[in-house]
Amino acid sequence: MLVGLEPEKYYHIYNRGINSCKLFNNDHDYEYFEKLIVRYLSSISDIYAYALMSNHFHFVIKLHFEIDKPPHQYFSNLFNAYTKTFNIWNSRHGSLFERPFKRKLLNDEFYLKNAIHYVNYNPVKHGIVKEISKYKYSSFSKLNSTENSDILVDRNEIFEIFGGKDEFFEYHNSSPKPI
């Protein structure tokens, strides 16, 4: 059953390309999608984790209390904006993402921590990299960097969930538990 999206709650949001088709063909595609995440999601949510793989993505977010449209509309706008541009760049037409996008309510701290870890570890799970710190299209790479990122990931708040920066990185040294 698909859960609705409610303010002040944490969610694991994920989706993939139709028939598992590629969503991202090159660095430019990934970077453009990251810019759209900022444009469409930063005003309605805090992003705690994300990972973009060639044919799917994951987010862990917390929705803000004050939202002027139904939350799913912001996600729809993100997916539609990306699809239109991706289709032009790749001389294709039609839908790109499966519908509806998947979402799981993260209703306790244990599940939240595991979801953040799972999302950050996803590029390793799929054999893209051997170490999560080596994958640049994820929140982990932003948290592990000293540079400010365009993606609105609040390092301090995320580290606090795990009990501190050292504890966050220690937690991520092992394989995640299934969520």
74 by DSSP, 3-state: which? helix
What is the Cα–Cα distance from 94 to 99, expressed in whole angstroms? 13
Secondary element (H or E) of residue 119: helix 109-125
Give the strand order in the sheet containing 102-106: 45-52, 56-63, 10-16, 102-106
Q: Is residue 1 part of a domain?
A: no
CATH code for the domain in which residue 15 is found = 3.30.70.1290
Q: Is residue 53 part of a domain?
A: yes
Q: Is residue 141 part of a domain?
A: yes
Q: Is residue 120 part of a domain?
A: yes
Q: Is residue 108 part of a domain?
A: yes
In the chain, the number of structural domains is 1
What is the Cα–Cα distance from 177 to 43, expressed in whole angstroms? 31
- Residue 12 token pair: 């694991």
Give this prediction's pTM.
Answer: 0.89
Which residue is it, tokens 């799913």?
72
- pLDDT by residue, tens only, the chain of 179 residues: 456 788 899 999 999 999 989 999 999 999 999 999 999 998 899 999 999 999 999 999 999 877 778 888 899 999 999 999 999 999 999 999 998 899 999 999 999 999 999 999 999 998 899 888 889 999 888 787 766 555 567 778 899 999 998 899 889 887 776 66
Q: Is residue 64 part of a domain?
A: yes
Which residue is it, tokens 């054999």?
127
Q: Is residue 88 part of a domain?
A: yes
Q: Is residue 17 part of a domain?
A: yes
- Domain extent for 156: 10-171
- Residue 66 token pair: 């004050």
What torsion, rounded to 10 degrees, do the Cα atoms 35, 36, 42, 47 define? Answer: -80
